[in-house]
Structure 1
Amino acid sequence: MDQSSIFDRRAVRAHRDRAAAGPVERVFPILSEAADRLLDRLDDVSRRFHRALDVGGRGVVAPRLRDRGIETISCDLSPAMAARAGGLAVAADEEWLPFAAGSVDLVVASLSLHWVNDLPGALIQLRRVLRPDGLLLASIPVLPTLSSLRAALMEAEMAVAGGASARVSPFPEVRDCAGLLQRAGFALPVADADTIMLAYRSPLALLRDLRDGGEANAVMLRNRRVPPAALFPEALGRLAGADEAPLEVVLHLAMMTGWAPSPDQPRPLKPGQGKVQLEDVLDAMPDPE
């Protein structure tokens, strides 16, 4: 393993393989809600898409694209998870995509890029597989998602073991995401903030959802020893609080859109190219009474 990496990609694949065996279906409502919100952006686009690449959709995104009449290829780091999408499916690493340049005109990556070590590099590859004026739609969890869980685990581990290790994936901030698209060479990059409100009967149900969705801890620097028996009861107690109210969790998302560059796309005018002078506009305005 590359010790300079943030995430253990073999662990990511193992978690996806385990989830693909059936548990992922339990979190389909969450995955479906995120996918629907992302794909709603297609309704605001006047052009029609013919061939799409579904990156890590976990069997939720591809059927929705096919329902729109779009031929869809699916890929996932886990062969078993890729197969859940049906149709043409490929086992592929998002960090080393095996697709030809300009092979699709739409890429959709719903909740699937946050375990990538080189996110700018992965975005560059996604831009490469797009035809000119092709569209990328991607969603990624951003801060402060799972901040309360991260804090509870850290405080509990400090209390029972005298130290703390990484147990929750790091996330970017939404303000960073448009810059990542621009850095990867996308035109007209946009990153909108969105939230999905979740409620759990207990903190343990939250941990089960993370595991069932293939979202267990895959941080490279995680503590690989068996945790102290008191760690998770202590952390879950801190997360639950004193009352018995449902645990409210907010999934914060960056909804990212970017276009593969094309000569036909509108471009901002260079300084001095405008046809109307500001002073002419001001002169034409009526005087205030």
Structure 2
Amino acid sequence: MTAPIVFDHELIARHLRRRKAGAEDFVTSLALYDLQDRLLAITRKFEQALIMGPDGAALPARGESHDGVFAFERVSTALPAPGMPLVDPEDLALPRTDYDLIVSIFDLQVINDVPGFLARIRRHLRPDGLLLAAAVGGNSLTELRQAFLAADAALSGGAFARVAPFIEVKDAGALLQRAGFALPVADVESHVVRYAHPMALMAELKALGASNPLADRPERMATASLVTTAAHAYQEMAADADGRVRATLEIIWMSGWAPHESQQKPLAPGSAKVSMASMLGNDPKA
């Protein structure tokens, strides 16, 4: 079955091209800092590694695991970048099929066919190759979403999709399993970012090229009245005592391995040689 079209990839590329020069992408910086820590914990010497994301030029050319420094092949999935491939994330024809590490930074939250995307990554990994993927989590920008829902209800009596849906951490492990990954793990890093005013948050999202990427977005642009009403609702629900407002940011990390015979596997049902009852001291035969 063809996945429904939720995200407009041409629009995402336009938003990235319009980013404000010099705007600091602290969200990507947080993810890359966390990636460094995660790689350093892995006892593996990576020989053929790839890192990809919407803007490949913002990604590192090198990484370091517990066993040493390695080079990343970089790929851009939205914005053309000099000297690196531009790959359609819905098709994902990567340059090789024998990577021992693939890292995806913020591709997953703008993919129409997430299980298909993960399955295609697995097919580009050699056996026992590793996927590490970062995605914006489900509770991110929940305050902004609620504020626009309240503003739309107040001004037009309806609700419109103005903030993209994000992946829930409870679904992440199942998505990896569905794509055929072994030893799937998902966890979440939660952050609270504070702004002087809701308008400062909206301005930063626009400066980072993170405006509404939905294909089924409202045809009319947000009016000044709508934005002002949403900002007031935001202030009412998420302001601290000092007047600054909170914004929730979640980064979900997903990891999984291409299947290999050397990997640990669960025991077959009924193969245990010691009963749970005897271990707990409840076995009448003990």
1:14 maps to which residue?
14
Matched residue, 1:122: 117
Specify the SS of the correspondent of 1:26: coil
* Partner-residue secondary structure (3-state), 2:63: helix
Give 1:280 shift: 6.1
- State whether structure 2 residue 32 is matched by structure 1 residue 35: yes
- CA–CA distance in 1 between the matches of 2:111 and 2:280? 51
Match of 1:247 in 2: 245
For the Cα contact (< 8 Å) 1:17–1:78, is it kept in 2? no
**1:53-103 deviation line (CA, Å, top 9, x unaligned):** 2121644432452796322122223343x44xxxx5211111111225633
2:51 counterpart of 1:54: yes
Return the offset for 1:281.
4.6
CA contact (8 A) 2:184 2:255 kept: yes
Aligned partner of 1:256 in structure 2 is 254
- Cα distance change on mapping 1:3 and 1:143 into 2, 3 Å: closer
TM-score by length of 1: 0.85
Aligned length: 276
Q: Tell me by how many angstroms 1:122 deviates.
A: 0.5
Q: 1:279 to 1:169 in 2, by over 3 A?
A: closer
Q: 1 or 2, which has the higher helix percentage?
A: 1
Unpaired runs of at least 5, structure 1: none
1:278 shift after superposition: 4.7
Residue number in structure 1 paired with 2:214: 219
Q: TM-score, normalised by structure 2?
A: 0.86
Structure-1 residue corresponding to 2:203: 208
Unaligned runs of 5+ in 2: none
For 1:267 and 1:148, locate their aligned partners in 2 and report how far apart those are by CA, in whole Å: 42
Residue among 134, 148, 157 paired with 2:152: 157
Query: Which residue of the other structure, out of 178, 182, 190, is the alignment partner of 1:183?
Result: 178
Equivalent-residue separation in structure 2 for 1:220 and 1:3 (angstroms): 13
Contact 2:111–2:117 (CA under 8 A) maintained in structure 1:
yes
Mapped to 1, the partners of 2:93 and 2:69 lie a distance apart of: 24
When residues 267 and 100 of structure 1 are mapped into structure 2, their CA distance, relative to the original with a 3 A threshold, is: farther
Identical-residue share of aligned pairs (%):
35
Match for 1:200: what amino acid?
Y
Tell me: CA distance 1:150–1:89, structure 2 relative to 1, closer, same or farther (3 Å).
Answer: same
**Secondary structure of the structure 1 residue equivalent to 2:120:** helix
Specify the SS of the correspondent of 1:72.
strand
Deviation at 1:3, TM superposition (A): 10
Maintained 8 Å contact 1:143/1:172? yes
RMSD, aligned α-carbons = 2.7
Mapped contact 1:13–1:77 kept (Cα < 8 A) = no
Conserved? CA contact 1:101–1:131, under 8 Å: no
